[in-house]
Amino acid sequence: MNYYIIPTKHMNVEIKLKFSDKLENYISDSFMRNIGHLICQLDEFSLYYKSIASEKTLNTIYKINDVYSSIYDIMSPDILSYMPKHSFVELNNLFFVIIEIYNTFDFVYSSINTFTPNIVYIGNNVSTFESSIQYIHRSPPGLDTIGMFSSTLDKAYNDLHTNTTPLPELHSENGFIFFDTDYRENNIKNSINYTICLLKTLYIAMTTSKTCIIKVWEITLKPIIDIIYMLSGIYKNVYICKPTTTQHENDRYIICKGMSSFYKTIETKTKLKNKISSMIAHITNTCISKEKHLTSVCIRSVIENDISQHFINKIEESTLIVGQKNIEYYENLIIMFKLHGKEDKIDMAMKSSIMKCAQWCSKNSIPIKSAYTV
């Protein structure tokens, strides 16, 4: 797993919403355009090879190139006993992501292993998240066995914002919250939704003072960088990590630990939360409720603070490294397409992929079938 330590420092966050008429990257713009050109090239290759290769061959090529997708094939059936419905079918990469994060960051390890009944999951993959925590605990299925609770982002935000019987676990600093959100399309509407989503995440984090694990997608847009910058001023330790099992995706995770004592005071916390909630309402009313604005209004920034160049450099460094991994994935896929008809080389590539999966499983204490033992 690659991870990056984000510089943190105490600051007074100055909330200020600014709009623009253009959606553009704040950092790594030329690099992101180059990736876009490569994807277009890949689409041309895909279209051609779909016309000459069987669906089975194409699926094999995609699977080889998405190296860690073969983990599902080599996992031991013993893992089934930790899954709510005893099936691999419901699992997705989140299962492996949680295990990687758990094995990389000690404070996540301690939060899970203390059986503190304050693990809160915000998202739509409850079953997979539950399975990963239960596997880490080696406990039988059932949320109550591990003290894990789940909600959606909107419900958690609305409950806390209106103070209407929210999950009591949200009011304890123990444990952590895992925010599993998903806005992938890079267009105006989704960039607005993405910003609102992260502002709601920030509001919940401010309310609870818990350790947070926040799934993010692209972090090249200015309002997203602003929110990460706010997190770096609110928390003592902030990391951006890219789990190995999310190889070719833009998904990465921001991990925030140890809220600054300054932001734990009721007065300071309430003041910032009120500004965040007002901003969410303003964005919603301006950009979402009025259809005519969806194609003409973008969010330019959400804070007044000047962002240090050192911070920008760290964010850009992580973006470029993740982007380079994506480039390698796309280039390797083009190479794999060119191997069409060369079954011996495709077979060798599959064996190499399975070996990498076996090594990952061994490193992360995932039992595998005896035939694949490293």
Other beta carbons within 10 angstroms of residue 366's beta carbon come to: 20
| Contacts of 45 by beta carbon, 8 Å cutoff, 6+ apart | 333, 334, 337
| pLDDT value, residue 109 | 63
Give the residue, 85 or 339, on which the prediction is more confident.
339
Q: Where are the alpha helices (DSSP H) in the chain?
A: 29-52, 55-65, 71-74, 93-104, 106-113, 126-137, 153-162, 188-208, 222-234, 266-283, 309-338, 343-363
Instruction: Give domain status of residue 208, yes or no.
Output: yes
pLDDT at 174: 75
Q: How many domains does the chain have?
A: 1
168 belongs to a structural domain: yes
**Helical packing angle, 93-104 and 126-137, nearest 10°:** 40
* Per-residue pLDDT reduced to its tens digit, 89-119: 567 889 999 999 988 887 666 666 665 557 8
Q: According to the model, what pLDDT value does residue 309 have?
A: 94
Is residue 160 within 8 A of residue 205, CB to CB? The reply is no
Confidence band, pLDDT 50/70/90 cuts, at residue 262: confident
Residue 293 has pLDDT above 50, yes or no: no
Is 302 contained in some domain?
yes
Is residue 150 in some structural domain?
A: yes
Q: Average pLDDT of 2-31? A: 88
The predicted structure's pLDDT at residue 230 = 95
pLDDT-derived band at 86, boundaries 50, 70, 90: very low
Residue 176: pLDDT above 70? yes
What is the per-residue pLDDT for 158?
A: 92
**Would you say residue 83 has pLDDT above 90?**
no
The DSSP bridge pattern shows strands 211-216 and 148-151 to be unpaired
Record the pTM. Answer: 0.90
What mean pLDDT is reported for the chain? 84
The 10s digit of each residue's pLDDT in 180-215 is 987 655 555 678 889 999 999 999 998 888 899 999
338 belongs to a structural domain: no
* Sign of the alpha-carbon torsion through 138, 144, 148, 150: positive
pLDDT at 141 over 70: no
Residue 294 lies in a domain: yes
Confirm if 129 and 122 have CB atoms less than 8 A apart.
Answer: no
Residue 47 lies in a domain: no
What is the CATH classification number for the domain harbouring 302?
3.40.50.150
| 256 compared with 106, residue with greater pLDDT | 256
List the one residue out of 265, 147, 125, 146 whose CA is nearest residue 206: 265
Domain membership flag for residue 362: no
Range of the domain at 296: 2-27+76-312
Of residues 266 and 147, more confidence is placed in 266
pLDDT range class, residue 337, cuts 50, 70, 90: confident
